[in-house]
Amino acid sequence: NERTFIAIKPDRIAEIISRFERKGFKLVAIKIMVPSKEFAQKHYHDLKDRPFFNGLCGFLSSGPVIAMGFIKYGRKLIGATDPQRSEPGTIRGDLAVVVGRNIIHGSDGPETAKDEINLWFKPQELVNYRSNAEKWIYGVN
């Protein structure tokens, strides 16, 4: 079961969580926090040489972030990095305009998901349970 880490900015919390829920993603961890700049730099460490790194970390640490861990099935819901190029129907395509303010972060693969979930959550903050979606959407018992 592949995991993903998702972080969103406030204002569209319910709408964004609802899209993952509708699709059948299983929420296994959630919290709200204001990350420090140092924490944001850790989170985006692979982008440290990019010209927008400082602004990006400043933005992430500028206010509350809702951090979530999901058991997931695909990254298509989020859309392309640049919201101007995201398909309508995706979260960024429908709800964002500017690349530096694209309202949602999603880990880019199973390995980074593991690292990011470990960075944002303690092991005891991850909840193990069987959701209805697993039975009705995926057909597992």
Spatial contact of 4 and 113, defined as CB atoms under 8 Å apart: yes
Is 43 catalytic? The answer is no
Which of 70, 106, 113, 121 touches ligand GTP (CB under 6 A)? 106
- Dist CA 72 CA 76 (whole Å): 11
**Residue 86 sits in the site that holds ligand GTP (CB under 6 A):** no
Q: Which is nearer to ligand GTP, 71 or 99 (CB)?
A: 99
Spatial contact of 20 and 74, defined as CB atoms under 8 Å apart: no
Task: From 24, 32, 103, select the one nearest 71 (Cα to Cα).
Answer: 24
**Residue 105 sits in the site that holds ligand GTP (CB under 6 A):** yes
Q: State the residues that interact with Mg ion by CB under 5 A.
A: 108
Binding site for ligand GTP (CB under 6 A): 47, 52, 56, 81, 99-100, 102, 105-106, 108
